[in-house]
Chains A and B, each alone.
Chain A
Amino acid sequence: MAYSEKLIDHYENPRNIGSLDKNAEDVGTGLVGAPACGDVMKLQIKVGPDGLIEDAKFKTFGCGSAIASSSLVTEWVKGKTIDEAETIKNTDIARHLALPPVKIHCSVLAEDAIKAAIADYRAKAQKEEPKEAAE
């Protein structure tokens, strides 16, 4: 199977591998898996006071396409607001990396991971507010 140059580049030189402190208030963590192929993906975002995503990290155990998809997403979301980041579609990822049809599900995993990270960040932010109001 012929893989695109972009895909191979992200696979061989993945951007933003690593972890952020999942307990930090300004960090959202998304942990998703695709049980059919046994892949597991963690994607984290750190949101600055200006509401922009200032850092993103990922850790993926899975095939090359899953690694490339998560690497690409961390690169795309940096500097975006969470609302903007939420609009990333798996089809954009698949198109950019020219994923072969059998690997489209890897881009679905990456889309679900960023959505889960945003949901986690929002849940934390919401929990914060009433507490501050009570103080």
Chain B
Amino acid sequence: MDHFARLGLPAALDLEAASLDRAYFALQRQWHPDRFVAKPPEERARASIEAAALNDAYRTLKDPLSRAVYLAELKGVELPGDGKTIDDPDLLMEAMEAREELHEAPSSEAIDGLAAKARNEMNKAMADLGSLFLANDKSAIRKTLLRLRYLDKFAEEARARRMNIERSRA
């Protein structure tokens, strides 16, 4: 069973956070270990397997990027896993230049500006994904997701640098 089906939701890129939460919490109650303490061991084991699978589904679908990656995999788009490298020059040059810019950013304000730019790029790319999924354009989906991974990493690094600056000020 895929993560969407487990939560009783349509396999879609756009998922309202509220309906995802509602589906998750209802099922979580249903499979909660407290309800199975007095049950036979097989049933207890089943409940704990269900609860774990449910948590996994929720974690995967809650974050829009991880949801998009998962949906792409369901559609047969393969993304490089751990230890796999890519050599797409446009994507990597963009990522390298952005990280250099971040590394050299002189102030928190400058970092915030770069982070805002990256967020904007992420929103645009996420919006593009919607139509790429509709068109089932696998190679463009793959490319866009890889770019989103790098933009996401950039946002994470920007937050880390921001914290370092604030810490050194305090």
Contacts and interface: CB of A to CB of B under 8 A. Distances in A.
Interface of A: 30-38, 40, 42, 59, 61, 104-105, 108-109, 112, 116
A34 B85 contact: yes
Given A104-B83, A105-B83, A108-B83, A31 B150 contact: no
B35 interface: no
Contacts of A32: 85-87, 92
A81 B116 CA distance: 45
A109 B85 CA distance: 6
A30 B96 CA distance: 12
Given A38-B152, A38-B153, A40-B99, A31 B93 contact: yes
Contacts of B80: 34-36
Contacts of B87: 30-33, 112, 116
Interface size range on B against A: 20 to 34
Contacts, number: 69
Contacts of B96: 31, 40, 42, 59, 61
B82 A105 contact: yes
B146 interface: yes
Interface of B: 79-89, 91-93, 95-96, 99-100, 103, 146, 149-150, 152-154, 156-157
Nearest to B82: A36
Contacts of B85: 32-34, 108-109, 112
Nearest to B83: A105
Nearest to B102: A61
B92 A31 contact: yes
B152 A36 contact: no
Contacts of A104: 83
